[in-house]
């Protein structure tokens, strides 16, 4: 008996249904890739801002409003993710095959014991509740921190400055939980048989590096337009240091995760990487060059970190590199090998440009409503005269 005789009609039908779902998933996968990137950027911008407030950092006060404006995208990005969640729950999109109730029914011929064991966490009601917690929680913190920051400008009261510190610490704690959990829910559960304990840090640092890049681009743009002249080479230098540091941290986490799986060589674990090497090598390998090698070679120099054109160019490249990173997280598990065509290219690029346009609209609208220099912050003078000592 040859292998073809072992495959029955039901297997062919199941394979055809799976392939149909993967092709049908393309527009939703493209939107999830871009939406997760920009929602993560806005959430990490608020995280980065909260760290500055919690540390009473003086140098970064000049770009406080830039970080607040970038964080203002949280509600919009969250709504896009909620819509995608509802489309999956309603069966219109099929990005998460663990949502198929047939797979956790012990009496079903398609019963999956691994998904059954994980169903205490991966079940639709609890999943929707978690998504609401991430979106509403992040939305609340960005609203509260911006409100207290604006009030501090008006009152210059130390009590408001203390409140800003307290709410920032609160968001750091919330973000520590939420950023881990939404990485599980939105990204890692695409491949529910596979897991990585480093995945939450890896995906978070990808958006953190992108957030620093966006802050650089917006701050430099405002300076070139003449509305933020207080932003100088020293502020750029420190932001470029964070861009370099987060790029190296991302590389460390990528290598650490990959090396451990390669060394263990357990079939059910390395399959995750085999699929990417087999079908996504044209996006997987360039991602490493853009996110690691280029930042390493370009930003290692201290003098280069003061060059506006070079640093801004690097910031744009880093964002594109981490977009590829999210592409590689989402597409293999949702679209499979059916991505290498003009249809998918147009959808992926179109979804990215749509989210970029929406992001720019929200951020610029937020900036137009903010006083660019937070004069109520007691450290604003220190930020204005900040000079890097080396």
pLDDT in tens, 137-150: 999 999 999 999 99
pLDDT value for 11: 45
pLDDT value for 17: 52
pLDDT value for 266: 83
pLDDT value for 2: 39
pLDDT value for 14: 47
- Asked whether the predicted pLDDT for residue 20 surpasses 70, the reply is no
Residues near 34 by beta carbon (within 8 Å), at least 6 away in sequence: 323, 326, 351, 352, 354, 355, 356
N-term to C-term CA, the chain = 75
| Residue-wise pLDDT tens digits, 247-298 | 999 999 999 999 988 888 888 788 888 888 888 989 988 999 999 999 999 9
Please report which confidence band the pLDDT of residue 390 belongs to, taking 50, 70 and 90 as the band edges.
low
- Average pLDDT, rounded, for the chain: 92
**pTM of the entire predicted model:** 0.93
| Residue-wise pLDDT tens digits, 319-356 | 999 999 999 999 999 998 878 889 999 999 999 999 99
Closest of 209, 220, 208, 214 to residue 356, by C-alpha: 214
CB count within 10 Å of CB 200 equals 19
Q: What percent of the chain is modeled with pLDDT above 90?
A: 81
- Asked whether the predicted pLDDT for residue 377 surpasses 50, the reply is yes
More confident residue, 91 or 211: 211
pLDDT value for 21: 54
pLDDT value for 19: 54
- Asked whether the predicted pLDDT for residue 194 surpasses 70, the reply is yes
- Asked whether the predicted pLDDT for residue 7 surpasses 60, the reply is no
pLDDT value for 106: 92
pLDDT value for 365: 98
Please report which confidence band the pLDDT of residue 389 belongs to, taking 50, 70 and 90 as the band edges.
confident
pLDDT value for 264: 86
- Asked whether the predicted pLDDT for residue 70 surpasses 90, the reply is yes
Least trusted range by pLDDT, from 17-31, 107-121, 227-241, 277-291: 17-31
């Amino acid at each position: 008996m040859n292998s073809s005789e072992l495959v029955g009609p039901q297997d062919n039908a199941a394979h055809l249904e799976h392939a149909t779902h993967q092709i049908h998933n393309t527009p939703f996968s493209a939107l999830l890739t871009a939406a997760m990137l920009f929602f993560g950027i806005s959430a990490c911008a608020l995280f980065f801002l909260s760290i500055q407030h919690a540390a009473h950092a003086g140098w970064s006060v000049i770009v406080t409003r830039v970080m607040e404006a970038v964080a203002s995208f949280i509600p919009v990005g969250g709504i896009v993710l909620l819509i995608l969640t509802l489309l999956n729950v309603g069966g219109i999109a099929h990005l998460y095959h663990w949502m198929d109730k047939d797979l956790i029914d012990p009496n079903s011929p398609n019963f999956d014991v691994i998904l059954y064991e994980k169903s205490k966490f991966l079940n639709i009601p609890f999943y929707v509740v978690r998504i609401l917690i991430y979106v509403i929680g992040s939305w609340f913190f960005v609203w509260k921190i911006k409100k207290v920051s604006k009030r501090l400008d008006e009152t210059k009261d130390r009590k408001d400055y203390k409140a800003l510190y307290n709410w920032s610490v609160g968001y750091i704690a919330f973000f520590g939980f939420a950023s881990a959990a939404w990485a599980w829910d939105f990204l890692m559960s695409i491949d529910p048989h596979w897991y990585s304990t480093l995945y939450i840090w890896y995906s978070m640092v990808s958006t953190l590096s992108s957030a620093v890049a966006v802050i650089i681009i917006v701050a430099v743009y405002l300076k070139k337009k003449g509305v933020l002249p207080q932003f100088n080479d020293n502020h750029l230098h420190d932001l470029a240091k964070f861009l370099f540091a987060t790029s190296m941290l991302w590389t460390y986490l990528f290598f650490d995760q990959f090396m451990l799986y390669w060394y263990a060589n357990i079939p059910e674990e390395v399959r995750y990487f085999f699929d990417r090497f087999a079908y996504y090598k044209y996006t997987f390998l360039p991602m490493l060059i853009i996110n690691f090698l280029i930042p390493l070679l370009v930003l290692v120099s201290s003098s280069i970190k003061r060059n506006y054109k070079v640093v801004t160019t690097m910031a744009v490249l880093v964002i594109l590199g981490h977009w590829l990173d999210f592409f590689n997280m989402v597409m293999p598990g949702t679209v499979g090998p059916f991505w290498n065509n003009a249809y998918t290219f147009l959808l992926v690029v179109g979804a990215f440009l749509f989210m970029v346009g929406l992001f720019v609209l929200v951020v610029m609208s937020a900036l137009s409503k903010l006083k660019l220099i937070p004069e109520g912050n007691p450290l604003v003078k220190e930020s204005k005269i900040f000079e890097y000592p080396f």
